[in-house]
Structure 1
Amino acid sequence: MTPDVDLTLPIPGPHRVRDALLSLDSGLFVFAAERKWPGAGPVLPRLSRSANHGMLWIAVATAMAAGRTPRARRAAARGMASLGLASLTINTVGKRSVRRPRPGIDPVPLARRLKRQPITTSFPSGHAASAAAFATGVALESPAWGAVVAPVALSVAMSRVYTGVHFPSDVLAGAALGTGAAFAVRALVPPPVRTPPAAGPAREAAALADGAGLVLVADSDAGGTDLVAEVREALPAAEIVVCPPWEMRTALEKAAARARVLGVCGDDGTVSAAASAALRHGLPLAVLPGAAPGGFARDLGLTTVGDLAGAVRRGEATRVDVGRFRSGAREGVFLDGCGIGVHPDLVRERGRWSEWVGEWPAGMLAALRVLKAGHRPMTARVNGHERPLWLLTAGNGAHQRTGLAAGRRLDLADGLLDVQVVHGGRNPSWRLLAASAAGRLPRSPVHAAVRTDRLRLSDVEPGTLLAHDGEVTEVSGEVVLDKLPAALTVYRPRATDGSRG
């Protein structure tokens, strides 16, 4: 009888696979060490040393943030956050789980070697992880900046093999881990959602072919000085007044008295003051977006001087709602929103960080700091019902929201106040912060929301602060919040107007 013949190939054991991969890795390391890398000698060792402890990436992020563009600042912040997560993972899991020794440096030419050899384990490469994390994080926010940073990151990763401190697989694993860290950060903190400009009823306004009749008041601290030359070129007959922020209100009143169209360039509080002056004098408003456009200009779709100049020349405009608050003899308007409780503190803290990290992360940082401060809830009667309140906000129109930070508006004339309430208690609930981080604030048991055209608060304690469009006012007794529907005419290009006719 013919014996059975086993025709199956032998399956190598796990140790054989490991040995084969190690052998291939060592072979690639020696191959790289024996090859000449043109131009790398004076560059890669220095670049490798500069990336120690992330110092290279800290310097790059600082340079990006110094550019003063919000997107570059957000990209720098996202890159550093990705680097931080990658470094934490490497140091707590990676280096301790695979204790691989460093490669022998005998095949590496003496001129390439680092003066101080690392003593930690080899797998994975922390330098490669940091480089990939920073470059990927930057690219996810700003592809243009990512294209600038990527070659530097690739060079840092290659330098670790060139100088003989890592096997190629160490570098590949580190780069994969760093890239994954950047995507994890993006999942936790999504980039800003680009939404279409808010809608509003179309309206014809005065068409100023050369700008004659427009008096534009620009805040010198809000990029107004830098934009003057562009405005004068686009609208040569316009009158332009540049003044410091403490003179803006007086300048706006004087301008409104002699203008056919009142123009303004400044922050949200300045634009709100201009809107108040325009309403009193029955004028249309022209909002020039500054170096960092405020929420109202962004919702209108105004981002450049050309956007506004074209609308003014053609007489294209829209009607928008104006929010109003009244408390005793005090009365004011707001274009974006207002709030009481800890809202003034949240606005102040969010403003410190928003240009650097974006609205959503800035809202989270502000919430953390306010929660840590341990404010007491205020007590007031809301539409006749007594409520302990930690925070109450009223947006001028429905806002898209992610947690505590208000987002964009899709309609600037919906006739509604977007009211958000966080109930009080012994102390602010950390469940609120968790819900905000997950973008599920409306599901939080300490949160309530309603859309209405009027809200009345009574029994408000004297000295209570009400924040409105970045400004702060003291209120007490009864506070009434309501709307002036489609009360203000504002210039905007019709091409961007998703209007309802």
Structure 2
Amino acid sequence: MELLRRRGIQHRGIRQIGEGLGTLDREVFEAIAESPSPLLDGFMPRLTAAADHSKLWFAIAAALMATKKSSVQRGAGRGVASLAVTSLVANQLGKRVWKRPRPEWSTVPVLRRSRHMPTSNSLPSGHSASAAAFAVGVGLESAPVGLAMALLAGMVGISRVATGAHYPGDVLAGFGLGAAIAVAGARIVPPIVETRVPVTDPLRIGTIRRPDGAGVVLVINPASGSGTGARVIDEAREALPNMEIVELDKDDDVDEIMRSAAERAEVLAVGGGDGTVACAAGVALAADRPLAVFPGGTFNHFAKDIGCDTVARTVESIREGSVACVDVLRLNETGTVINTASIGAYPTFVQKREKLEHRIGKPLAGVYAMFHTLRRGQPVRIHYDNKTVQTSLFFLGNSSYLPSGFAPSRRLRMDDGLMDVRILETEKRFSTLRILTSLALGRLVRSPLYHEMRVPEFTFKSVDGPTLLAHDGELADEIDEATFTVRYRALPVFRPLP
């Protein structure tokens, strides 16, 4: 009997708390409804109408997608996905579980009332749930933009009370539901955290200024980069009139001409694709000459990463004598790698992704390129670190690349003394499906089929005989074994320095 009496007291206490909160909810609603305010009368009906059917959030998402910042674009996509799930849960499930009548809106000024007063259950507020889901979704990828969206979402919630559509408690319940669904989504598809790599000061090399290019020998192919080389020649000749220019023909021995130029040069300069730049880097290392790079190829990855993405930047570096050292990789002690090396179908993957990313975005382009490569690429079995794996995608880069995963795109520094190795195993059961699923969910780096390491030296053997190795945009010879070694800060290059 005593136990039943205590339970009865507890139930009455809970019921009284609920009744008290309900009374407070109604009183707050009435206080807002009866408050005369030109701002509430004029602005709130327009805001709540804009949020009908999530039109406001879709418009904002389209604007965010038009920006060039990847975190903001990811936030827009995550926000819309969170909103879609939340709208379904709130309207099809939430309003059927918690049956609460709408407020008595006769006390709300006519000018402030919603044009179309809803007739569904009041709890939770669907507008507020969608607003919170979108704001939190955006904020998980881009905190500054998410804060702005949260402020706007709060105003949408207030508009639902001010126009008589909901009690304040309905709005708070909607905020909680939308935020919870967005956070739960982040557990399934984690946000991308952009890694910040510690950057040390570059190793500067003292050298003389060359305002007219005296002592510089430029070796360049006029036809490189679909004619870009010819434009580089004209700009460089005008800016550095005393620089010697050697123009390559298609039948020339590039290595021999580079060596000849290095013998008489104080500075070896090169213009062309990354393959030509890699050849010049090897010659400059052997001849102990600093290297100047003009962006004369198609992609100019190395030139861009050292800050010489325009002829003007390279010219200014030569004039000012601005030189710093970067790492290069030695391949089997004879070859030189300045950017990347790969075996298997990785070059095909990169080409397919870059071809599509401007039309459908990098994430979708990456998924399609991965599917295409895994379906059609020829796998290679390699042995390294006491284990043998089959791979269709093998990437090795000079210095650390960002981001993690199989879309490395940039280097924040080029003198960390490390190489970046990434391998996807493709021999295990359902490996293609598992890889594509992990990629689509943003969890590839957590997959047991994905291996990423940063090391100063790496060796692998091709188990089933010679395999083609590509590096710096060119196909090298077939190899049975490859050893890559970092030459730490071995190559002096002209580059803009702070």
Same fold (TM over 0.5): yes
- The unaligned stretches of length 5 or more in structure 2 are 229-235, 242-254
1:438-478 CA-partner distances (Å, limit 9, x unpaired):
8585772x45567543434375799x8x7766x5x678854
3-state SS in 2 of match to 1:41: helix
- AA partner of residue 460 (structure 2): L
After superposing the two structures, state which structure 1 stretch, 83-92 or 163-172, moved more: 83-92
Q: CA deviation at 1:68?
A: 2.5
> Distance between the aligned counterparts of 2:60 and 2:300, measured in 1?
25
TM-score in terms of structure 1 length = 0.65
Residue matched to 2:105: 105
Residue matched to 1:204: 205
Counterparts of 1:56-455 in structure 2, within 5 Å, are 56-91=56-91, 93-146=93-146, 148-185=148-185, 188-197=190-199, 202-204=203-205, 206=207, 208=209, 260=267, 274-277=277-280, 279=282, 283-285=290-292, 313=320, 315-322=322-329, 333-341=337-345, 344-345=348-349, 348-349=352-353, 362=363, 366-367=366-367, 370-371=370-371, 375=375, 378-382=378-382, 388-397=390-399, 402-406=404-408, 412=415, 414=417, 416=419, 418-425=421-428, 427-432=430-435, 441=445, 444=448, 446-447=449-450, 452-455=457-460
Decide whether aligned partners of structure 1 residues 438 and 164 sit closer, same or farther in structure 2, where only a CA change above 3 A counts: same
Residue matched to 2:462: 457
Contact 2:352 2:369 in 1 (8 A): no
1:401-458 CA-partner distances (Å, limit 9, x unpaired):
74545586887453656252413256425444676668585772x4556754343437
Q: CA deviation at 1:335?
A: 0.9
Decide whether aligned partners of structure 1 residues 419 and 115 sit closer, same or farther in structure 2, where only a CA change above 3 A counts: closer
- AA partner of residue 197 (structure 1): V
Decide whether aligned partners of structure 1 residues 343 and 161 sit closer, same or farther in structure 2, where only a CA change above 3 A counts: farther
> Distance between the aligned counterparts of 2:394 and 2:134, measured in 1?
38
Contact 2:342 2:396 in 1 (8 A): yes
Residue matched to 2:232: none
Counterparts of 1:453-492 in structure 2, within 5 Å, are 453-457=458-462, 478=479, 481-483=482-484, 485-486=486-487, 488-490=491-493
Percent identical among aligned pairs is 26
> Distance between the aligned counterparts of 1:272 and 1:181, measured in 2?
49
> Distance between the aligned counterparts of 2:96 and 2:302, measured in 1?
47
Residue matched to 1:250: none
Q: CA deviation at 1:204?
A: 0.8
- The unaligned stretches of length 5 or more in structure 1 are 1-5, 225-231, 240-252, 496-501
> Distance between the aligned counterparts of 1:259 and 1:36, measured in 2?
81
- AA partner of residue 167 (structure 2): F
Q: CA deviation at 1:314?
A: 6.3
Decide whether aligned partners of structure 1 residues 322 and 159 sit closer, same or farther in structure 2, where only a CA change above 3 A counts: same
After superposing the two structures, state which structure 1 stretch, 300-309 or 381-390, moved more: 300-309
Greater relative contact order (CA < 8 Å, ≥ 6 in sequence)? 1
- AA partner of residue 113 (structure 1): R
> Distance between the aligned counterparts of 1:335 and 1:124, measured in 2?
55
- AA partner of residue 428 (structure 1): S
> Distance between the aligned counterparts of 1:311 and 1:158, measured in 2?
57
Q: Rg: which structure is higher?
A: 2
TM-score in terms of structure 2 length = 0.65
Contact 1:341 1:378 in 2 (8 A): yes
Q: CA deviation at 1:317?
A: 0.9
- AA partner of residue 29 (structure 2): F
- AA partner of residue 457 (structure 1): S
Residue matched to 2:231: none
3-state SS in 1 of match to 2:107: coil
1:263-301 CA-partner distances (Å, limit 9, x unpaired):
99xxxx96676555555566524699xxx9979967x79
Contact 1:377 1:425 in 2 (8 A): no
> Distance between the aligned counterparts of 1:322 and 1:21, measured in 2?
69
Contact 1:72 1:145 in 2 (8 A): yes
- AA partner of residue 378 (structure 2): M
Decide whether aligned partners of structure 1 residues 276 and 152 sit closer, same or farther in structure 2, where only a CA change above 3 A counts: farther
1:182-224 CA-partner distances (Å, limit 9, x unpaired):
4445551242122223787x25164658796899x9xxx9xx9
- AA partner of residue 40 (structure 1): L
> Distance between the aligned counterparts of 1:198 and 1:378, measured in 2?
40
> Distance between the aligned counterparts of 2:165 and 2:148, measured in 1?
26
Contact 1:415 1:453 in 2 (8 A): no
Q: CA deviation at 1:482?
A: 4.7
3-state SS in 2 of match to 1:418: strand
> Distance between the aligned counterparts of 1:39 and 1:455, measured in 2?
70
More strand by share: 1
Residue matched to 2:247: none
Tell me the number of residue pairs that the alignment of Structure 1 and Structure 2 aligns. Answer: 437
Contact 1:285 1:490 in 2 (8 A): yes
Decide whether aligned partners of structure 1 residues 302 and 66 sit closer, same or farther in structure 2, where only a CA change above 3 A counts: farther
Decide whether aligned partners of structure 1 residues 399 and 237 sit closer, same or farther in structure 2, where only a CA change above 3 A counts: closer
> Distance between the aligned counterparts of 1:152 and 1:49, measured in 2?
14
